[in-house]
Structure 1
């Protein structure tokens, strides 16, 4: 789908950037939780 209206195009780009940033933050949180879980499991063995 092509967006020709400059305001809509800017809004769409802003939404995409915002979502990409949120995904990056979620990945970092999941990575940290994964490492914390690994450390907890390692400590219990």
Structure 2
């Protein structure tokens, strides 16, 4: 089974923001950092 990591991260981020809206800044920052790292180092994520 192939999982699109960015789609999974977006889903988790959306759920967290719905549960706790004050987490928006942290969730967006973490999401951007993770997506950036995946873009720079695609070999780290090999599903």
Whichever of the two has the greater Rg, that structure is 1
Q: Decide which structure has greater helix share.
A: 1
| TM-score (structure 2 length as normaliser) | 0.47
Structure with larger RCO (C-alpha < 8 A, sep 6+): 2
